[in-house]
Homo-oligomer: A and B are copies of this chain.
Amino acid sequence: MVAKIRLYVDHPLGAEQSVPLSRDHAHYLFGVMRQGVGAQVLLFNGRDGEWRAEVAEAGKRGGILTCLEQSAPLRMPPDLWLLFAPIKKARTDFIVEKAAEMGAARIIPVQTDFTNSDRIRQDRLQAHAIEAAEQCGGTFVPEVADLHRLDRLLADWPADRQLVFCDETLAGETGHLDPADRARPGAILIGPEGGFSDAERTRLRGLPFTRSITLGPRILRADTAAVAALTLWQSQLGDWP
C-alpha cells in the first residue's frame, strides 16, 4: 500500500493552478517523504475540494505543484459547533483532533467557572485541526476559535441554534436528542473535568435553546465525552445515514 500524501494549502485550487509550497511542506515532501519532480500528492484548502497535483519544481526551501484534476468535491460537515473547556494540553489537542474527524464545523474553547486556563494556543489547535483533516481524508477544516467566556457566549447566543448540554448530573435519567431538531443548527457543550458550577448548570437548564442529554452512568473524561456526544449528534441529527 502506498500512502497517499494529503496536504492542506491556503491557496486557491483549480485546473492547471500553480500552488507554491511553504518551506515546511517542502521539507516534509522532499526531505522526509523523499518525493521529487513528477510525484503526485493530494491538495485541499477547505474550499475547493481535493485536487490531485504534481510536483513541478522541488527545492529545499519551497517548490511548486500543479493541479491536475479534482479528486473529490468539497464535503461540508453539518452546521455543528463543539464548545469545550480546555483541559490538560494533550487532551485539549485530542479534543480538537477528534472534533475535526467527527465533523464539527466550528470548535470553540470556552472558559467556564471551573476552567483553569485563561488562554489557549489558538494557532497550535488550528494546526491540529488541519492535521486531522489531512490524515482523515477531509476536504473541510473546522475553524478553531479563540477562547470565549461561556457566560458571554450564552448572552449572545443565536436563538435558532440548539445547544446540547452534556449534563453529568443527569446520569440515570432520560435525556436524549429529538429527531425533530434535525433541521436546526446545533452545538455541543462539554464541561471541564470538575463539571459545571451550580450557577452555570442552573442557567444552562433555564435557557430556551438548550437541551440536556446524558452520556450514560459512568463518569467520562472530557475528551471521551466529546467523541461520545459528537457520535450521538451525528448519528441522530447529523449526516450519518
A: residues with CB less than 8 A from B are: 1, 75, 77, 98, 101-103, 135-138, 172-175, 194, 214-221, 224, 227-228, 230-232, 234-235, 238-241
Taking the closest CB of chain B, its distance from the CB of A135, in whole angstroms, is 7
Q: How many of these chains are in the complex?
A: 2
CB-CB < 8 A to A77: which residues of B? 218
Taking the closest CB of chain B, its distance from the CB of A208, in whole angstroms, is 24
Assess A231 versus B232: contact at CB under 8 Å? Given A221-B135, A239-B216, A240-B214: yes
CB-CB < 8 A to A135: which residues of B? 221
CB-CB < 8 A to A101: which residues of B? 218-221, 224
Closest to A174 in B: B241
Pairs of residues from A and B, 10 with the lowest C-beta to C-beta distance, nearest first: A231-B231, A216-B240, A227-B227, A228-B231, A137-B219, A136-B219, A174-B241, A101-B224, A103-B218, A98-B224
Q: Are A228's CB and B172's CB within 8 A?
A: no
Assess A241 versus B136: contact at CB under 8 Å? Given A231-B227, A232-B231: no
Given contacts A101-B221, A102-B218, A136-B218, 4 further A-B contacts (CB under 8 A): A101-B224, A137-B219, A217-B239, A227-B231
Q: Which residue, of A136, A172, A175, A217, has the highest number of chain B Cβ atoms within 10 A?
A: A217
Closest to A135 in B: B221
